[in-house]
Structure 1
């Protein structure tokens, strides 16, 4: 299980200034989600860049330097807790990038052989690492060739849910135009595994100058709005307009 955090702002600034106490609290979660950290963001030249490393964010000089130097108006952050038998390598660390798209996932899908089959059938790119998450991203990328981000996320999730075992397909997708947060998880599987469904809930907060979306895990001041299971949140970079799309 991993942790997700994303922000879109009306002005470019560093992540500590955008996120304030939320960033410190999020970073503290790496005491448990300790197998890697990563960020992706649009920089001052409007290039999509990333930094990631297979180590805990808490106490990492590399992480601190990355968040302080990232002047941006749109970013996503990820803390990784690796699944069993998944190596802590840079190739397995989120986010994953392809051109002008970045992706981070919280959940578990299996088997990987079935995900590889789905990616191959869709003409997607082969994965460099071992994770189910990168294969999920490859399928989203394949769908993006002929549909918009909301439909691509929906179709990728539908194909995976029809063919593989799904715990959670929760993810953040950052494009040039928007940040998308998709909440999709199987409450029955989570409960059967003895886990807390609340660990997979996504919430978002709208302020006059920014919109933030995050996994659960730390006490946060109101008002945060729930993103229901089966919904996709879209946050426009240009206007901060938010739209909630319901999956069919």
Structure 2
């Protein structure tokens, strides 16, 4: 025996969680009886940990429960890059937030400053295209992959809709208003991936038109917020 062991889930949980909530299919309104409950959040590493030889871990991921926590600076970089998964944390309906500290509230207040036209287009359309590729490379004779294909199709539809809505309104829609229609359309796409081509081409067309987002994000609010986070978690000598 080498003496090593898998860390317990609670050992992987940072102390200074600033904002966290339930994301994924539950947040979108697409959950079913067998769906996992996914959680996402961000935390502040103690400021003094950045002064040593080794930087603190940027993410903590557990599978029991399914939870991802990003360090505050990493979350900001992901959001400035338009990452769909990270970004939804600050757009969740209030009842889905499980931890919402004053610094978390501040982050929600500056959420639009992270948005930019190029990042939103590249990220949302890019991730949707990845889902489409997974559908087109699926072996139709593999019936075991049918449920997975429907999941890819649901993600594709959601990503396209979220991205286009962000581009045109500057608001990220989390809870889908018509989840049953999305499920039904996803089932058809799972059986015939070519049905998604119209959806993707329409999204490309709408992204090509002027939207409400700036070409580049405004990094100043994120920088100022991070400095407040570091000051709040600095232990005096």
TM tier, smaller: under 0.3
Greater helix share, structure number: 2
Greater strand share, structure number: 1
Give TM-score, length-normalised by structure 2: 0.28
Give TM-score, length-normalised by structure 1: 0.27
